[in-house]
């Protein structure tokens, strides 16, 4: 019996390596509500990525979320320097308050630093994602096709729809880190039908057959692999892909290619 568990474990780990996983949702820095186990340092994250079989990660810094984007984004660049397998993802704020300086300059410098993706936290950071507040920022990101990652609880579904339709060339990646994705699919499917620029990330996507269903209805191109490591266990997202009810070609798209394509599509 032991060998069966061992065999399954071995097969699982071999499978992971064959799909070149690129994690779109990885964090460095200490979370505000750390559980009994957490990793915060770059070396710790990289060691766990290696253990888990994840080759690359798009990382944000917890200080950018919980302290200030200006502080956390700067620290992020310092901490991932010299680690080509860690790519930065900045957290931005709306331009009117100029907390990041002139937003155009900030985005230009961000791209010069090699950062090609951003996250927005409108609810946590207390601003509106509507056009009067973020329209200019979103238009600038859209012009350069910089992907925007946003958590479902950081906005509402109608605003997300407006964001996607007002900025049809802006890649928008929906993340569901602080809630269960299974509640959301009745909201998500009409959005997928209407908004070709909307993608969904896999973390907390463990509704029974949920990812398989999205692939069969909307194609594997709409799903981006992400884990929310080190808050959530990356093996959950990993096995939903490796043991998915879809082809290896589609698994490769989800595991790494879709994110690579989004980042390659950024116009510097």
Partner 1 sequence: MSAINDDLFIVDAHIHIGYMANFYMPDNSLDKMIKIMDKCKIEIVCASHIAGLMTHHYEYAHSETMKAIKTFPGRIYGYAIFDPIFPEKSLDIVKRYMDMEGFIGVKIHPAGHRYPIDGKYYQPLWEYASENKVPILTHTWDATPQNTYPYELVPPQVNAQPKLVDSVAIRYPNIKIIMAHSGGHYNGHLQAIEVVNKHQNVFVDIAGEPIGFGLIEWFVKEVGAQKILYGSDLNWLDPRAHIGRVLGARIELEEKEKILLKNAHSIFCFKKSFTGKKGGEWV
Are 266 and 146 spatial neighbours (Cβ–Cβ below 8 Å)? yes
Q: How far is the CB of 31 from partner 1 (least distance, A)?
A: 9
Q: Are 49 and 23 in contact (CB under 8 A)?
A: yes
Q: Which of 147, 178, 179 is nearest to 163 (CA)?
A: 147
**C-beta closer to partner 1: residue 43 or 51:** 51
Residues forming the site for partner 1 (CB under 8 A): 1-2, 4-6, 8-9, 12-13, 33, 35-39, 51-52, 180, 182-183, 185-186, 189, 204, 206-213, 229-240, 242-243, 245
Give the nearest distance from C-beta 186 to partner 1 in angstroms: 5
**Is the bond preceding 185 in cis, omega lying within 30 degrees of 0?**
no
The number of C-alpha atoms within 13 Å of 117 and in the hemisphere containing its C-beta is 27
Nearer to partner 1, 101 or 190 (CB): 190
If the CB atoms of residues 9 and 81 are measured against partner 1, the closer one turns out to be: 9
* Nearer to partner 1 (CB atom), residue 27 or residue 90: 27
Q: Which residues lie below 8 Å from residue 188, measured CB to CB, with a gap of 6+? A: 174, 200
Shortest reach from residue 267's CB to partner 1, in Å: 35
Q: How far is the CB of 171 from partner 1 (least distance, A)?
A: 25
Spatial distance between the Cα atoms of 213 and 210, rounded to a whole number of angstroms:
5
Q: Which is nearer to partner 1, 75 or 185 (CB)?
A: 185
User: In angstroms, how far is the first alpha carbon of the chain from the final one?
Assistant: 55
Least distance to partner 1, CB of residue 34, Å:
9
């Amino acid at each position: 019996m032991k060998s069966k568990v061992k065999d399954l474990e071995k097969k699982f780990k071999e499978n992971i390596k064959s799909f070149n996983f690129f994690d779109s949702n990885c964090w460095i820095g200490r979370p505000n509500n750390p559980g009994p186990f957490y990793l915060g340092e770059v070396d710790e994250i990289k060691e766990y990525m290696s253990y888990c079989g994840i080759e690359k990660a798009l990382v944000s810094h917890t200080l950018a979320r919980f302290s200030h984007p200006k502080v956390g984004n700067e620290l992020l660049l310092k901490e991932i320097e010299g680690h080509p397998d860690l790519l930065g993802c900045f957290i931005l704020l709306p331009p009117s308050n100029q907390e990041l300086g002139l937003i155009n300059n900030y985005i230009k410098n961000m791209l010069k630093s090699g950062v090609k993706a951003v996250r927005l936290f409108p609810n946590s950071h207390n601003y509106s994602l509507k056009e009067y507040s973020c329209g200019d920022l979103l238009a600038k990101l859209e012009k350069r096709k910089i992907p925007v990652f946003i958590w479902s609880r950081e906005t509402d579904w109608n605003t997300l729809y407006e964001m996607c339709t007002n900025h049809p060339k802006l890649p928008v990646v929906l993340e569901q880190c602080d809630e269960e994705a299974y509640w959301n699919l009745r909201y998500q499917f009409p959005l997928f039908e209407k908004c070709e620029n909307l993608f969904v990330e896999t973390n907390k996507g463990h509704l029974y057959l949920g990812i398989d269903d999205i692939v069969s209805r909307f194609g594997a191109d709409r799903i981006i692999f992400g884990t929310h490591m080190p808050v959530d266990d990356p093996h959950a997202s990993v096995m939903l892909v490796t043991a998915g009810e879809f082809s290896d070609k589609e698994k490769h798209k989800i595991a790494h290619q879709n994110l690579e394509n989004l980042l390659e599509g950024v116009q510097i």
